[in-house]
Amino acid sequence: MASKSDIQWFKKTFYNEIAAATKNTIFDPDMLIAIATQETGSLWSPMRKKGLRKSEIVRLCCGDTLDAPNRSAFPKTKAHLVAVKDGDKMFDIARAALLAMSQHVPGYGFAKNRKNKFCHGYGVFQYDLQFFKVDPGYFLNKRYENFKQSLGKAMEELTSSARKRKLHNRSSITDLEFTTIAITYNTGRYRSSRGLKQGHFDGSKFYGEHIRDYIAIARSIPNPDGSSLGAPTGNGNAVVNPPAQKIATGPKMKVDVNQTSHLRMRSEAKISSPTTKNIVAHLPDDHPVRAFTGKSVNGFIEIEAELNGNVFRGFSSAKHLKKTSSAAVVAPPPLATGDIPEAHVPRKASSVTKRTQSANAFTVRESGMPSRTGGTPEELRKDLAQIISYLNPQKASHKRYQPRSNTTFCNIYAHDYCALAGVYLPRVWWTERAVIEIAKGEKVKPRYGSTLREMRANDIFRWLDDHGASFGWRRASSLTDVQDNANQGAVALIIARRKNEGRSGHVSIVVPETDKHAARRNRLSEVTAPLQSQAGSRNFNYSAGTTGWWNAEKFADSAFWFHP
């Protein structure tokens, strides 16, 4: 398996050629790098470490020696191959390719003595020998030994796969959408019900799962030409999904409600039962939106709106939308509050806050605490799993998170989890007076009860809305989006604000899926209940919990957030 340093080498070596081939397409270099890593990374990784020339590495990227009964496609065996026209010539080429590659790649020592073995995959992007019958010249003339030719063939196959997925006419695609195309590239089709668990299974992960991780690793490495689809990240940070692109082209509009309410954006053109079930987002008065057609359906208009750093799509009541002549649909800028620093209760350097102690305003601090330092999605997932295991909110002796006297501590568990992962989510925050003074440039000392106040879930909900972007938080556009980011090692959460301000809201951490624990999905593989970890009236390390708990009528609003 290729490492991050291997992928960095590949990106530096082949980036310019891939960038030229993907220009003006829905694909980008990192997507093709992910394909190459999955298909032949196990071959070019040891060869580049041995110092072979670029051209030699490309020439030797031939693999896949599985035959019947482990292979059902043509050719299943040597006899199957030599039975067709020029099959004997192809076998000689395929056999020679295996022997040449085996001299440089560990694990192929069997090649010399098993004389009927031969390669089925050709080129850096692995064009399979099953296509020999329809394209014999590609194999017989060894076009795969030329990187540009192999890349061109991959682009043809990926474009065909995109057409099967009905994504070929899009101006751009997400990394998750590309992964479905890659699965089709590998298997010939994509089964929505199986999500990323499709394609070749290597004993630990499926083809689709590997591709999703490899894209993230490639994106974390700066492009040689200085361009970037997103800021490359260092160890301890995940590569998260970029904001959705705006696609609505209909009338420009704005929200027109009274100043004491929000406009509900719904996933369907109807009011759900309960009324909160299909709410996608709440839009404030005068918020700019854009319609898709401007036509009313059941009294609703389909719209698109930018909110908290992401783009949301849904349906809102036509009577609360007003056409505007604004030149552009631009969301209001984040709240301008100056350079407000993190807020923490002052403590002695030697002080300790234990999980076994009752909850307080301090962040948990003990010796030997885990942290998030990984440089790949797999490493980040392991880091977050260790943090969950360490905090272990379901353990009775961890009194810090156990409910008592009708009081729950979801906010404290969420704060501790984020703190160990290197992300700021306030346990305490500045008072309103302190914020005003800080915004004026005045120096304010943190004092509990004077300039600092404790934060309940309702308070954190508003803090994320007002200040989250300044501290690196971004709103997720859907449950699938928030779970996908968590699976890449990001810190993610669901938070809901209570209608009754005297009652606490709730915050639950969305965590990476594991072999034993998974989110719930529908038949289209869309997440309906993310995998969560929480403290509250019920504490658990891993559970998909109650589907749609955040849409309960007791909550005034809810949102999904993530942080790299």
From residue 454, how far is each of 360, 403, 408, 448 by CA, in Å? Answer: 9, 18, 14, 8
Q: Please give the torsion angle defined by the CA atoms of residues 152, 158, 160 and 162, in that order, rounded to the nearest 10 degrees.
A: -150
Answer whether residue 488 shows pLDDT above 70. yes
Q: At 533, phi and psi to the nearest 5?
A: -140, 130
- pLDDT of 231 reads 58
Render pLDDT for 328-363 as a digit per residue (tens, 0 to 9). 555 555 544 458 999 999 999 999 999 999 999 999
Total Cβ atoms within 10 A of residue 396: 8
Give the model's pLDDT for residue 499. 93
**Element housing 162 (H / E):** helix 147-164
The backbone region for 338, taken as left when phi is positive above 0, alpha when psi lies in -120 to 50, beta otherwise, is: left
DSSP class per residue in 397-464: T-GGG--BTTB--HHHHHHHHHHHTT----SEEE-HHHHHHHHTT------BTTTEEE--HHHHHHHH
State the distance between the two ends of the chain, measured CA to CA, in whole angstroms: 25
Say if residues 464 and 455 touch (Cβ distance below 8 Å).
no
Q: Give the 3-state secondary structure of 2-21.
A: CCHHHHHHHHHHHHHHHHHH
Contacts of 474 (CB under 8 A, 6+ apart): 240, 243, 308, 309, 310, 468, 561, 562, 563
Residue 1: per-residue pLDDT = 81
Which H helix or E strand runs over 316?
A: strand 310-317
Instruction: Tell me where in the chain the CATH 2.30.30.40 domain(s) lie.
Output: 252-323
> Tell me: the pLDDT tens digits for 85-98?
999 999 999 999 99
Confidence of residue 327 (pLDDT cuts 50, 70, 90): low
Q: Judging by beta carbons within 10 Å of its beta carbon (0-12, 13-18, 19+), is residue 397 exposed, middle or buried?
A: exposed
DSSP letter for each residue of 72-124: -SSPSSHHHHHTSTTHHHHHHHHHHHHHHHHTTSTT-GGGGT-TT----EETT
Instruction: Find the angle CA(478)-CA(484)-CA(489) to the nearest 5 degrees.
Output: 130
User: What six digits make up the tokens of 393?
Assistant: 């909110």
Name the 3-class secondary structure at 383. Answer: helix
Specify the pLDDT at position 337: 47
- What would the pLDDT profile of 516-563 be if each residue is shown by its tens digit? 999 999 999 999 999 999 999 999 999 999 999 999 999 999 999 999
Could you tell me which CATH number the domain at 252-323 has? Answer: 2.30.30.40
pTM exceeds cut of 0.85: yes
Q: Check residue 232 and give its pLDDT.
A: 66
Residue 351's pLDDT is 96
Phi, psi of 345 (to 5 degrees): -70, 130
Helix, strand, coil % in the chain, rounded to nearest 5? 35, 15, 50
- Total residues found in the chain within this entry: 564
**Can you count the helices (H) and strands (E) in the chain?**
14, 20
Predicted pLDDT of residue 541: 98
* pLDDT, tens digit, 9 for 90 and up, residues 246-288: 989 999 999 999 777 899 999 999 999 988 899 999 999 999 9
195-225 per-position pLDDT tens digit: 999 999 999 999 999 999 999 999 999 999 9
Alpha-carbon distance 53 to 482, whole Å?
A: 42
Beta-carbon contacts of 372 under 8 Å, excluding residues fewer than 6 positions away, are 236, 380, 383, 384, 387, 420, 421, 422, 489, 491
Helical (H) or strand (E) element with 31: helix 29-49
Tokens 């998909």 map to which residue? 544
Please tell me the distance from the alpha carbon of residue 304 to that of residue 289, in angstroms, as a whole number.
Answer: 6
CA pair distance 416, 426, nearest whole angstrom: 10
Residue 349 identity: A
pLDDT digits over 287-317, tens only?
999 999 999 999 999 999 999 989 999 999 9
**496 contacts 550 by C-beta, under 8 angstroms:** yes
The DSSP symbol for 319 reads G
